[in-house]
Amino acid sequence: MKIEQTLIYPVRVTNECAIDVARAYYEKHSDLSFDEDMADYMRNGFVTSYPWVFGMVKVINHEGEPAWFIRMAVGPLIDLLRILPFPLPKIAFCRNNEKDRLRVYSLERLARLALKLKDKHYGRSTERSNN
């Protein structure tokens, strides 16, 4: 059976796709390979990608409790929290590639912050596209 397809152009909220922003960040600020890191998270964690949001996360043990470790996040905080596969009490991350400082926050605190900052994007500008 052959299905005729119509080309549909993607609707973009910015000029850049979130995954492209993440890749560019790795190239500029990290000595790790984006593709190798993403492959590791696809095998051992979770990777979510939409044009406006991208995230790589794993479950870690933080002080005896499970927590999300966010390796890379691009997009509005509220959407980043929505793409988590399931809720855990804590979220951990290293900000701006800080290797020696793990920041840990409660999911509740970040959810409250996300509601306050619902139009703020992480990892890219909020310039709107005319596409």
Helix (H, G, I), strand (E, B) or coil at 48: strand
Q: Please state which of the four CATH numbers 1.10.1740, 1.10.10, 3.40.1350, 3.30.70 is assigned to the domain occupying 18-121.
A: 3.40.1350
Predicted confidence (pLDDT) per residue in 29-40, tens digit? 888 999 999 999
Contact (CB, 8 A) for 130 and 13? no
Task: Tell me the mean pLDDT in the region 5-16.
Answer: 56
Q: Which residue has the higher pLDDT, 128 or 18?
A: 18
Total-model pTM: 0.76
Q: Tell me the two tokens of residue 125.
A: 């500008």
Q: Which residue has the higher pLDDT, 5 or 58?
A: 58
Q: Which residue has the higher pLDDT, 58 or 30?
A: 58
C-alpha closest to that of 128 among 51, 17, 15, 19: 15
Helices 18-29 and 34-44: angle between axes, nearest 10 degrees:
120
Task: Tell me the mean pLDDT in the region 55-60.
Answer: 96
